[in-house]
Chain A
Amino acid sequence: MTERNLPGISFTEALEQRLDQANWSRREFLARVAAFGAATALSQLLIACGQGGASPTAPPATPAATTTAVATPTAAPTPVPTPEKELFVYNWDGYIGEKTVEQFHDKYGITVKYDLFPDEATQITTLKKDGKGGGYDVSYPASTWMPDFTQNGIVRQLDHSLIPNLKNLSAAWQNPGYDPNNQYSVPNYWWTTGFAWDPRKINKDLTSWDALWDSAYDNHMSMLDDMRECFGAAAFRLHLSPNTKDTGELDQILTMLEQQKPLLRLYTQDDISDLTSGTVWLTHAWSGDWVQMTYDKPKTKYVIPAEGAVKGNDVMVVLSGAPHPIAAHLWIDFNLDADVSAANTNYIGYMGPNDAALPKIEGYIKDDPRLNPPPEVLAELIELEYLPQPDLDQYTNRWTALRA
């Protein structure tokens, strides 16, 4: 972990570092560019209309009969059904261990086509556009989407006999509320949403959401460009639920966010580099992003505010239209392996729900109460719930009014 000194280096070096920092391989980079290419208003609409070929990140339609593929001679102890030779994974950038894909290929001979999305909105739009996962096998949605995904048939019920490593899940994650008995999903990482700051600029132990409303840091703060998270932060400050459906409470939250807006530098798309580059001193942040901030600025601090905070987790799912369902199950099982799961966590800094992996997770992650809060803190944190459309509209109307 070397301290990088951006101002002193040449422009191309800086750019390379920026790309490097994001761990973009050329292929990932292309996928990411393609994803952003789609981000013009018109392409958004094309995607929205669900036309074939409209989304550059979608893998090409594949013949369904891939299960007839000849078994690979190198196949490791494989479950009874013959796995397919390819797998289409759709995930965040830099979200698994650096060698996970390679090791999976070595073990099963399955080639992973790994596509990235730049934000959750793009992910959900892509997975929903054809109602069965946009041609992908596996993706990593936030757990809050599970009621919606199961209800709308986006995901496929898991065959637990193909995922023996489910036994590695800790007891607390065997039966989550969003998906009883993990019938459709397997928990992957979990996190908290608090805020991070640069102690060289703010030499204090901040503990309250009040900091993000403190005019002492005027124009040196950012909030996540995420509607639900911003409403959540304001709600905690007001001692309200981040899932409130009460219009009066939502009005109070909006007022609070309106008071905050003039103090902010921006609503950030990239909390990590905004803080590490010095654009802001203090930012609303996800716990795992904070870990990545410390790669550049080791002293960066993070807190789960005392008023409460959002906790979340994401899940691995097999999509209902998955062209390679067996390989998809193998992927999930592989990522539940103690070594693989620990490598994933050690790379990204998000804790997983994997008991078997715990001894192999770096001490600075598992022993840090900010990344691995004790059960009594965890019990106080609240998950963002999936909101029915009329309630969500209440949020969207206020958020667009705030941002306009």
Chain B
Amino acid sequence: MTASATPADQPGVSALGNTRGPIADRVAAGIFLLPGVVWLVVLFLLPLGIMAVISLGAVDPGGHVTLTSPSLDNYGQAFRPEYLPAFIRSLYYAGAATVLSLAIGYPVAYWISRHGGRRKILLLILVMLPFWTSWLIRTYAWMIILRDNGIVNSLLVDTGVIDDPIPILNTDFAVILGMTYGFLPYAILPLFVSIDRLDESLVQAGRDLYASGRGAFLHVTLPLTMPGIVAAALLTFIPALGDFVTPDLLGGTDTTTIAKLIQVIFTSGRDWPYGSALGFLLMAVTIAGTLLALRSLRREVIG
């Protein structure tokens, strides 16, 4: 999102830089960058590299990963028609959770920003409050709420809306609900930041030029908060695509995601090379999607 920096910013940057020599400046920058770089290299790039190497290997009959004849066989095997339903389902769950998170998150973020007043910080803390409890426990809580003798079904039966409990747990609905619930705070926070940063006078200018409330929102607010929307969508979609715990706990027999298949291959199947290859392909899909989203954002902001 640095793409939005305009040339007008440049003199300001160099003016700051001129207070010290360029070398000292670079050293200082290096020191500040070091922890982040070390973190990325040790905990992200290095494991990723090892995974890349493993994905070229094979498993010998004794269960060891061998790299004697590296090949791309694992990638060739990845495209199995049997896996297609799980892959489509993953996209469907992640997409549904993203759309719902945006649909719920945008009004919430908007309201906190515009009407939160002095309680803004408190409201944001409330949004983040669920993080204080483990995600696993919160998912178990949903199981208690949704199951056949759970709170929702008991309420519906007691009030006579239904005669017998309806299965809510172990359905697509429960999985999408669980994911939306889990990832909603990740959507609200970037949305809040971009809405809060929006200069209210721009909206006022729109209204002064006879835009309706709806028109001003569609033509001023929405485009200017698009970076927040894209960030929120990415922060929801990417983790949702790799999620297998929610489908495991809230899902049923027909809610297997591609991430669950990868987990099965790694564990029950003891086949790390093949699992790594599938993991890489999933990551490639995710990165491609991210780049596409960022590109469309750049076009949106510049154009």
A contact set with B: CB distance below 8 Å: 6-7, 11, 14-15, 18-19, 32-33, 36-37, 39-42, 44-46, 48-51, 53-54, 119-122, 124-125, 148, 151-152, 219, 225-228, 261-262, 264-267, 269, 277-279, 388-390, 392-393, 395-396, 399-401, 403-404
Contact = CB atoms under 8 A, between A and B. Distances in A.
A118 to B, nearest CB: 9
Interface stretch (B42-50, B216-224, B288-296): B42-50
Contact of A41 (B150, B248, B263, B271): B263
Contacts of B83: 400, 404
A76 B259 CA distance: 51
A24 B249 CA distance: 18
Contact of B169 (A19, A36, A279, A390): A279
A400 B265 contact: yes
A389 B66 CA distance: 12
Nearest to B155: A7
A49 B267 contact: no
Contacts of B268: 121, 226-228, 395-396, 399
B140 to A, nearest CB: 6
Contacts of A401: 80, 82
Contacts of B59: 389
A153 B119 CA distance: 60
Contacts of A267: 253
Given A121-B268, A396-B264, A39 B149 contact: no
B254 to A, nearest CB: 8
A41 B264 contact: no
Contacts of B148: 277-279
A118 B37 CA distance: 33
A6 B43 CA distance: 43
B137 A41 contact: no
Contacts of A42: 242
Given A49-B54, A389-B61, A7 B134 contact: no
Most buried by A among B83, B85, B135, B248: B248
Given A41-B244, A404-B85, 19 more contacts: A33-B136, A48-B272, A48-B276, A50-B50, A51-B47, A53-B43, A54-B43, A119-B267, A151-B62, A225-B248, A227-B268, A264-B252, A279-B169, A389-B59, A399-B269, A400-B261, A400-B265, A401-B80, A404-B261
Given A14-B144, A18-B140, A46 B43 contact: yes
Interface string B250-291: 011100100111111111111110011001001000000000
B266 A11 contact: no
A121 to B, nearest CB: 3
B252 to A, nearest CB: 4
Contacts of B243: 40-41
27 contacts: A6-B149, A11-B145, A36-B245, A37-B135, A41-B282, A44-B263, A48-B51, A48-B54, A49-B46, A50-B50, A148-B62, A152-B64, A225-B248, A227-B269, A264-B252, A266-B170, A269-B249, A277-B149, A277-B150, A278-B147, A388-B61, A388-B62, A389-B270, A389-B271, A396-B271, A401-B80, A404-B82
Interface string B114-138: 0000000000000000000011110
B213 interface: no
Contacts of B86: 403-404
Interface residues of B, number: 66
A277 B271 CA distance: 35
Most buried by A among B47, B48, B243, B261: B47
Given A278-B147, A396-B265, A40 B245 contact: yes
Contacts of A266: 170, 251-253
A15 B270 CA distance: 34
A54 B47 CA distance: 9
A33 B265 CA distance: 23
A321 B265 CA distance: 27
Contacts of A148: 62-63
Contact of B149 (A7, A228, A403): A7
Given A15-B140, A403-B86, A41 B262 contact: yes
A120 B263 CA distance: 12
Contacts of A120: 267
B50 A51 contact: yes
A92 B148 CA distance: 28
Contact of A49 (B50, B244, B253): B50
B144 A45 contact: no
Contacts of B47: 45-46, 49, 51, 54
Nearest to A22: B140
A121 B149 contact: no
Contacts of A389: 59-63, 270-271
Contacts of A50: 50
A73 B84 CA distance: 64
A396 B151 contact: no
A121 B60 contact: no
Contacts of B27: none
B141 interface: yes
B51 A15 contact: no
Contacts of A15: 137, 140-141, 144
